[in-house]
Amino acid sequence: MGFQLLPRRIIAFLSLLMIVTGIALTVWSYSQLPAANPRTPETASAEILPTVAPSVLIAAEPTDRSVTPAATEDITGPMIIGMGEDLPFPLQEVIAGIALAQEDVFTAPAEAISVTLRLDTADRAGMPIYQSLYAVATRFDVIDPTIDSESIHALWRGDPLPDALPYAQIAVVSDTLPSLVTLFGAAGPSVTGYADVNEVTNAVWASRQTLTLLPFDVLIPELTVLAVDGQNPVENSRKFDVSRYPFILTVYAHAVDQEKPYQSLLDEIVALSGGANRRADRLTLVAMTGVTAMVRMTAQQMDLYGAIWPAEIVGPLLADADITTVSNEVPFVEGCVTNVNPSNLTFCSSPEYMAALHAIGADIVGLTGNHQNDYGRENSLKSLEIYAQAGLPVYGGGRNKEEAIAPLYLEHNGNRLAFLGANSYGPPVAWATDTAPGSAPFDLNIMSAQARSIKDGDRADVVLAEIQYQETYGVDPLIDQRQTFRALIRAGADIVTGIQSHVPQALEFQEGKLILYGLGNFFFDQMIGATREGLIVKHTIYEGRHISTQVLTTMIYDYGQPHWASDAEREVILRRVFNASYWERPR
């Protein structure tokens, strides 16, 4: 009996030894393969989601396939993730980080024979797990921010473009070249790789003939993103149709070893990477307008044609923003009588005119204007009540000084915003006091301390400061105005805007942050020269960072109704503004 059992025990022992040895050799062999940049991913999301719904992907493709062949989630043996060379770099970092953190997960080239899970961009038979959108951008001071996809393809190949398009080369971050080659094919002599986004931006600013293709999530405000075939990815979902945008790279997962369960691993990859580098639920679009004073001839037109008359042309676009802010310089006063005398400077607006603010989708109102107390402080208090009844939060003004200078905090799609406003121009009767209403008196030390405190205390991601400075009618800011606005940037503000100017004024970047010295008129009755002109800006905030600003141009018609500027008018306005602006790139 014992003699017969001995061979079986030996065989069992030898079999077990072979299995263990085989596993050890497999683990050792894959540990020798080059890992895909095995670093802890700097771009991984701090929010760990158990699953990611298809709606968060920037271009969901219908599929009923699954890469989970097994019923159990217990992973036995090594998991070898094969990655194509063209996988977007942030995704590579996420996977490499997982491989470093988990003993049974390894990375290898996609073509390795012992891969158990393959990720690539070519085989659409798999399950889409990540999508990378590439934005087309150029230097900020571009007049026409549009292009077509065929021109981008031609430029990538090195083909000359029509004379109407001034571009001759493309600058890219070198790490993105493999992904871009998958999208566009072999790069022509017009394509140059650079080390990082800063070097790419320098190249773009050094030549007006240079475009860039950048992953959406690394965009910076010093670049203007171009609409491609009419679609601009820095817009929100009301204006951007992702299904019509051409430059999106999709990564697919394929189960090579059907005996292994993958879903928990894929869930972790998607959660850490976000599933896409542009997610609509992490984007906020903020629209800002210039001087609003529904008085004199503007008021007369509203009395004749209805309270929403000023907003009939530009209102729908403004209402499409996630947050629309308007600087209304004038109090709402019951029984206000329209006075069309051009020399009249004591202003009030009928409460019925609130309909114009609703028509542009106003979400918040800045009260930094110097006319807030024109009809007395009692009426100023009543005007604040009218805003409250309309559900419109205010900033830069209030029932007393403490309330007036207080930041207004808003959160949208995870983006935390702080709005600050103040009036440096006066007159003193317009300023709030410890016990009486009005606009916030400007004090550089106070606003600087607020901006610094907000950032240091992590109470907001983006600080937007606006100031009613001294009124001027030139495109150039005053010297002390420029010094003041730049000081606020150094203190921690991300965007500083001048609200006082009745004409569009210069722009500037300081430390990569945007200064707009004056937006010009919005709803107002001035009709001489540049006072008819206005700027509307749309700021894109993504994952707690200001990444882009669009500059739109308007012309006032009929003493108070802004229309979109024609192409010729836009060029005149922007060339004057950009020529007066302060550009410091490259650096």
Q: What is the pLDDT of residues 247-273, one digit of tens each?
A: 999 999 998 877 777 888 999 999 999
Arithmetic mean of pLDDT over the chain: 88
Q: What is the pLDDT along the chain (587 residues), one digit of tens a residue?
A: 333 333 434 334 434 444 334 444 444 443 443 333 333 333 333 222 233 333 333 433 333 333 333 333 444 578 999 999 999 999 999 999 999 999 899 999 988 988 999 999 987 788 999 999 999 999 999 999 999 999 999 999 999 888 888 999 999 999 999 999 999 999 999 999 999 999 999 999 999 999 999 999 999 999 999 999 999 999 999 999 999 999 999 999 998 877 777 888 999 999 999 999 999 999 999 999 999 999 999 999 999 999 999 999 999 999 999 999 999 999 999 999 999 999 999 999 999 999 999 999 999 999 999 999 999 999 999 999 999 999 999 999 999 999 999 999 999 999 999 999 999 999 999 999 999 999 999 999 999 999 999 999 999 999 999 999 988 899 999 999 999 999 999 999 999 999 989 999 999 999 999 999 999 999 999 999 999 999 999 999 999 999 999 999 999 999 999 999 999 999 999 999 999 999 886 65
Cβ(348)–Cβ(331) below 8 Å: yes
Identify the pLDDT of residue 52.
Answer: 36
The set of residues, in sequence order, having a beta carbon less than 8 Å from that of 501 and lying 6+ positions away, is: 290, 291, 469, 471, 472, 473, 517, 518, 519, 520
Q: Domain residues of the chain, as ranges?
A: 27-130+250-279, 281-580
CB count within 10 Å of CB 345 equals: 11
Return the DSSP state at 206.
H
**Residue 391 φ/ψ region, left for φ over 0, alpha for ψ in the -120 to 50 degree band, beta for the rest:** left
**Residue 546 three-state SS:** strand
Give the burial class of 9: count Cβ atoms within 10 A of its Cβ; 0-12 exposed, 13-18 middle, 19 or more buried: exposed
Domain 27-130+250-279, classified CATH 3.40.1130, yes or no: no
Instruction: For 10-53, give the secondary structure using H, E and C.
Output: HHHHHHHHHHHHHHHHHHHHHHCCCCCCCCCCCCCCCCCCCCCC
> What ranges make up the beta strands (E) of 195-301?
210-215, 223-225, 227-228, 248-255, 283-292
Amino acid making up residue 410: L
Give the separation between CA 317 and CA 329, rounded to whole angstroms.
Answer: 22
Return the DSSP state at 147.
Answer: E
Check residue 123 and give its pLDDT. Answer: 79
372: phi then psi, degrees, rounded to nearest 5: -60, -30
C-alpha triplet 331, 336, 337: angle, nearest 5°: 135
pLDDT (0 to 100) of residue 586: 63
Read out DSSP for 485-518? Answer: HHHHHHHT-SEEEE---SSB--EEEETTEEEES-
3-state SS track over 431-487? ECCCCCCEECECCHHHHHHHHHHHHHCCCCCEEEEEEECCCCCCCCCCHHHHHHHHH
pLDDT of res. 19: 38
What is the reported pLDDT for 125? Answer: 84
Tokens coding 354: 């609130």
Per-residue confidence (pLDDT) for residue 82, from 0 to 100? 93
pLDDT at 25: 42
C-alpha to C-alpha distance for 74 and 585, rounded to whole angstroms = 54
CA distance linking residue 40 with residue 46, whole number of Å: 13
533 in Cβ contact with 503 (< 8 Å): yes
> Is 281-580 a CATH 3.60.21.10 domain?
yes
